[in-house]
Amino acid sequence: MNLSTIAEQYCPSICRPVLNRVQQSPIGKRIASGIFWSVVGHGLGRGLTFVAMVLVARILGKETFGEFGLVRATASMFVIFSSFGMGLTATKYIAELLQSDKERVGRIIGLNYSLSFFLSLVITTIFYFSIPQLCETLLNAPDLVHEMRWGALLLFLLTFTSTQYSMMSGFQDFKGQANVILIVGVLTIPAYWIGANWSGLHGAVMALLFVTLVNVIINSIFIFYNIKTHKLRYYFFDAYKELPVLWKFSLPTVMCGTIMSGGIWICQMIQRLQPNGAGELGIYYALMVFYSIASFLPDIVNNVTLPMASETQGNQNVRQLRKIIFMQLGLNISVVLVILLPIIIFPRQIMSCFGNDFIVGNGVIFLFVVYCLLAVLAGTVYTAATGVGFVWLNFITIIFGTTVMLSVAYWSISRWGSFGLFLAMLLDVLVRIIVFVICILFFSRQILMKKQKKL
């Protein structure tokens, strides 16, 4: 029984018109296909990762789980520097040029790999040798030096997974992405369970390294397959010709990522330095696991529509571009509202999955839910703006948002712990959305006034 038969049998008045519109629209077919495979991969992958993180939290306890999250967060933050925004650059330019300039696509891929390897090697080396000073002064956690050094290797591997995943998005190989995520997700549960039981925090970090290494290897295989399928070649020696895209696109992208991720990381460090800071971070990381579940469908929609928006911009089809952006906004807002309902209704029962010491008050849950809604909306706006090349506008919004977040963070975190952390993050995304809307309205008015003067 196919999808059309099911729709006709059970809800013909609602589903049949929608299915007909999707089947008759090339955009609808591509978005539906991309979303289907991404839902399969991301849904199962994040579900398996969620189970793995629950197991790790129950084995390690609140404080040690907070330290595990800190190692992951620190390595992920430095990935912003080592990847230099090449991930989104790859997605945009591969999708935009795949049908029109295969040689440039080969150079973009060569530049991605070359720059990722060089920068990740440099940043990893700097990070490795600065870890003792970082742990003893900024983190006030000298016992984490050993695990943080393994985090340096994690940083190196995460740089490649980030850029590889974006390359596959540029190829719009969402079925391949689903296969990779599913394979890695299946490995995650036994790896984390064995690692955490074997050697606590150290074992969990080793399991994370193993899973990330497998991810890099499998991604490489799928990218090689796409290179052959599209009859492309790697151009490493001519990759320097694409260096201008670093200023035009990658530089503002990495500046956005650095400020945004760096600001959140600083807030986490402020939390770590407070009394019971590791425990409060454990609660924060546990809730952020739920955020990854709530945002997985919006992330899928963004992942599918970003290369399509870039391709549409390359074809200068403004009407089609507008349809893609509004479809993206509508889907994301609707989905996240539905997914957040269980944690609103059953907060204690859901948090107790991690252990009884993870249960928090309703105020923290409320702020977390509002933050999720605003963060998904801000992420959708950010992705749409990136797809059409408004990366400097994203940079402006992030500057304002991060300034507000850091201004509020120390005062609120020192008083309210994880509640204050979510308050600062919530104000960050709220300010970013407001500034973005103001800028768009201003630029639209300026363009309209110029057109009227010409007439």
Please tell me the least confidently modeled range out of 158-162, 303-307, 309-313, 433-437: 309-313
Domain enclosing residue 418, as ranges: 33-454
21 or 104, which is more confident?
Answer: 104
In 99-170, alpha helices (H): 102-133, 145-170
203 or 11, which is more confident?
Answer: 203
Residue 12 burial (CB count, 10 A): 11
Within-domain flag for 1? no
Express the helix, strand and coil content of the chain in percent, nearest 5 each: 90, 0, 10
Residue 152 burial (CB count, 10 A): 20
Within-domain flag for 64? yes
Q: What is the pLDDT of residue 170?
A: 82
Q: What is the pLDDT of residue 313?
A: 52
What is the mean predicted confidence (pLDDT) over 184-194? 92
Residue 428 burial (CB count, 10 A): 27
Within-domain flag for 369? yes
Within-domain flag for 22? no
Q: Please, what is the average pLDDT of the chain?
A: 80
Confidence of residue 85 (pLDDT cuts 50, 70, 90): low
Q: What is the pLDDT of residue 2?
A: 42
Contact partners, residue 12, CB within 8 Å, separation at least 6: none
Confidence of residue 454 (pLDDT cuts 50, 70, 90): low
24 or 436, which is more confident?
Answer: 436
Q: What is the pLDDT of residue 19?
A: 46
Contact partners, residue 453, CB within 8 Å, separation at least 6: none
Contact partners, residue 98, CB within 8 Å, separation at least 6: 105, 170, 171, 230
Q: What is the pLDDT of residue 7?
A: 40
Within-domain flag for 17? no
Within-domain flag for 12? no
Q: Please count the structural domains in the chain.
A: 1
Within-domain flag for 148? yes
pTM, 2 dp: 0.74
CA atoms within 13 A on the CB side of 213: 10
Q: What is the pLDDT of residue 445?
A: 58
Within-domain flag for 356? yes
Q: Which DSSP symbol is given to 247?
A: I
3-state secondary structure of 234: coil
Residue 415, class by beta-carbon neighbours within 10 Å (0-12 exposed, 13-18 middle, 19+ buried)? Answer: exposed
Q: What is the pLDDT of residue 359?
A: 86
Residue 431, class by beta-carbon neighbours within 10 Å (0-12 exposed, 13-18 middle, 19+ buried)? Answer: buried
d(CA 127, CA 254): 18
Confidence of residue 25 (pLDDT cuts 50, 70, 90): low
Residue 353, class by beta-carbon neighbours within 10 Å (0-12 exposed, 13-18 middle, 19+ buried)? Answer: middle
Residue 449, class by beta-carbon neighbours within 10 Å (0-12 exposed, 13-18 middle, 19+ buried)? Answer: exposed
What is the mean predicted confidence (pLDDT) over 149-161? 90
d(CA 253, CA 247): 9
Residue 341 burial (CB count, 10 A): 10
Find out whether 86 and 74 touch, Cβ atoms under 8 Å. no
> What pLDDT, in 10s, does the model give residues 190-217?
999 999 999 999 999 999 999 999 999 9
Q: What is the pLDDT of residue 90?
A: 79
d(CA 163, CA 185): 19
CA atoms within 13 A on the CB side of 328: 30
d(CA 352, CA 412): 25
Q: What is the pLDDT of residue 395?
A: 84
What is the mean predicted confidence (pLDDT) over 417-441? 88
> What pLDDT, in 10s, does the model give residues 276-306?
888 899 999 988 988 888 787 777 666 666 5
- Per-residue pLDDT at 240 exceeds 50: yes
